[in-house]
Amino acid sequence: MATVKELLNLQGRVSVVTGGATGIGFRMALALAEAGSSVVIASRKLDACEQAAHEIEKTGAKAFAVACDVTKPEQVEAMKNAVMKHFGRVEALVNNAGRAWVAPPEDLPLERWQQVFDLNITGPVLCSQVLGREMIKAKRGKIINIASIAGLVGRNPRAYNSIAYGASKGALVNFTRDLAVKWAHHNIQVNCICPGFFVTPLNEKLYEKNKESIDREIPLGRTGGPDDLKGIAVLLASDASNFMTGAIIPVDGGSVAW
């Protein structure tokens, strides 16, 4: 029987984090590194990836930066090839890259709807498919999809008027469930984290404008902090979650509990 420290130890593992250069993606990448994993930072801007990789290497872990637009199949394939050439394997994938577009539903341009869906659901599908093939060969793997509580419930339009975001994250939630069932016989666990409101460079202006109403909708009375996703990311990437698959886990200060 393994100890808890052994179960949560990621030493010798390789984890890919899309959208891992900034925000919650970087925090989760840092957590995986702190638990012992080598980490691949993948996003569209190589300089941002390299800067994040440099910060992660300060933990003593190995880090590798790759430029990748996850909506482009050829770039996802090239990213996979670079990872396999550099590390020779991949044990965990965190599908974190995402975006939103704020507009009333009646005014949302179709092209913006498509852009949100391309990144928020097609990107995770492509990355899971391409890196999942390597996991299937290895007969093990962890896929962690980053959705949102917006994919679980309707949101107050005064602060969250992005129906494409909520709809795409809802699709990611059920993609998680179905992929978990489809790949269970390959010993690949597929789970989903649904963050509540975490202040990031992408939403800080929204938070400043609506701070009181946003905080009021969170039972704990505050937004997510820099350490609040680290533990669940390590859990789902580690052997401690080997009997968890298809799980949808809100990390939201209790927002969907009332």
Tokens of 189: 């666990």
The one catalytic residue in 26, 165, 175, 198 is 165
CB 60 within 8 A of CB 84: no
- Provide the phi-psi class of 240: left if phi over 0, else alpha when psi is between -120 and 50, else beta: alpha
- Provide the phi-psi class of 36: left if phi over 0, else alpha when psi is between -120 and 50, else beta: left
**165 assigned to active site:** yes
Q: What b-and-e string marks burial along 206-243, b requiring 16 or more CB atoms within 10 Å of the CB?
A: bbeebeeebeebbeeeebbeeebbbebbbbbbbbbbee
- Active centre residues (catalytic): 165
